[in-house]
Amino acid sequence: MIQIIPAIDLIDGRCSRLVQGDFSRMTAYSESPLEMAHRFARCGVRRIHVVDLDGARTGRPANLEVLKCLSRETSLDIEWGGGIKTVSDIESALEAGAGHIICGTIAVKEPEKFASWLETYGPDKIILGADVRGLETATHGWTECSGIEIFDLVGKFVPALSELIVTDISRDGMLEGPALDLYSKIMKAFPSIILTASGGVGSMADIACLEKAGVPKVIVGKAIYENKISLEDMKLWSQRG
């Protein structure tokens, strides 16, 4: 059964969502991150995906106090990303309660450093977060195109890498369906890697399609905040297995 991982994106400590990574198209929601985390936990969710968008934009973690609160006040497994550039950033996030660290820009810009982090912390702690436009990866909070295709990027870290999050930027926040063809190609190319799909999910039918395609995990964000997918939907889904 595909695992649903709800997203909490942070700007100034608040739950926020962007459209296609564009900070000028940002929506802030009234729910606090902790309130949302508690609501997700009551639905049977085990892991949440938390992105420090301020950190992604500035290149250094900016919402670690929120991470500490989420870790202290819930028992959820937290995957955390945004602005991770140094060992100190990793250590700070782990100490604040992150269960897994998502790295994106550093893997593209300094692959040797990212490979060393995989070796030091282990593939159970370090996740590659690849953001793509078409097949090309993007960096610095989706603002820069790298010229490196997703298959070339991931191939650099096989077999050490065990978890991969791929976000289709063109679909993110659009609620128009996920990039099924892209995810199928990635799973075929890298069968040993656990793939998490991200971007475009707008309904439970989209999640069912991803499950049918064999995708192990999916991140859901805006569809929850815009009530396209209800908390009851997620609760019923989690009770299936």
Q: Tokens 């993110």 label which residue?
A: 172
Query: Where does 199-239 have alpha helices with state H?
Result: 204-212, 222-225, 231-238
CB-hemisphere CA count at 13 Å for 198?
25
43 token code pair? 């639905």
Please indicate whether residue 131 is annotated as part of the active site.
Answer: yes
Q: Tokens 């370090």 label which residue?
A: 126
190 token code pair? 């890298």
Dihedral through CA 165, CA 81, CA 45, CA 73, nearest 10?
170
Provide the residue type at 3 as one letter: Q
Please indicate whether residue 52 is annotated as part of the active site.
Answer: no
Radius of gyration of the chain (CA): 16
Active-site hit among 9, 89, 168, 233 = 9
Active-site hit among 131, 168, 206, 233 = 131
Provide the residue type at 64 as one letter: L
Distance CA 81, CA 79 (A): 7
The residues that are catalytic are 9, 131
